[in-house]
Amino acid sequence: MKTLFFILSLLISISACSLQSSGTLYEKLGEESGISAIVEDLIGLIGEDKQLFHFFAETKVSRFRNKLIEHLCFISDGPCVYTGDNMEDVHTGMHISEADFNRMVELLQQAMTTNQVPLPTQNLLLARLAPMRHQIVHI
């Protein structure tokens, strides 16, 4: 029994190593071109989304695109400096609900899937965005 457990844990650790392909999250997302394509698709999806579009009705899309690309690059350990406003300042007064936030997550997942981002990479990006929720909803 003990040897079985040993072999099992060995197998798990080996497969863990092979799955944990090296490189930053930024590289896994396809670097600048990958992130740009994801953001482009996300903007397209927001434009067609009943629940979210109204938030962006007066947004300057070119700035939003650039700042979001920068932001995603920065939080995925890419070689960027985020030059936009901080999350609280940007989203204050929008009254974004928890459901709105989740809707944004769903659109982002869809945009990443369209760009063939593997699921583990998608989840790792979401894991970095999730702790920001409290700076974005209900403020």
Partner 1 sequence: MTKYLYLFPLTLLFFSHLCGAANGKLLATPGVSQVEGSAGGGLVPWAQLAGYASEDEIAINGFCSRASVSDYRLDVCGAQLNWHDRIELSYAHQRFDVPALELQIEQNIFAAKIRIYGDLVYSRWPQLSAGIQHKRLQDPLVANLLGARHEQGTDLYLSASKLHLGAAFGYNWLWNLTGRYTQANQLGLLGFGAENKHASLQFETSTAVLLNNHLAFGIEYRQKPDQLGIKEDDWQDIFIAWFPNKTVSFTLAWLDLGSIAGANNQTGWYLSVNGYL
List of residues contacting partner 1 (CB under 8 A):
16, 19-20, 97-99, 102, 105-106, 109, 118-121, 123-124, 126-127, 130-131, 133-134
Q: How far apart are the first and last CA of the chain?
A: 55
Q: What are phi and psi of 79, to 5 degrees?
A: -85, 55
If one asks whether residue 84 binds ligand HEM (CB under 6 A), the answer comes out as: yes
Between residues 29 and 96, which has the closer beta carbon with respect to ligand HEM? 96
If one asks whether residue 124 binds ligand HEM (CB under 6 A), the answer comes out as: no
Classify residue 81 as exposed, middle or buried by CB count within 10 Å of its CB (0-12, 13-18, 19+): exposed
Residues in the chain: 139
If one asks whether residue 63 binds ligand HEM (CB under 6 A), the answer comes out as: yes
Within 13 Å and on the Cβ side, how many CA atoms surround 28?
Answer: 20
Q: Which residues bind ligand HEM (CB under 6 A)?
A: 52, 55-56, 59, 63-64, 67-68, 71, 84-85, 90-91, 96, 100-101, 104, 129, 132, 136
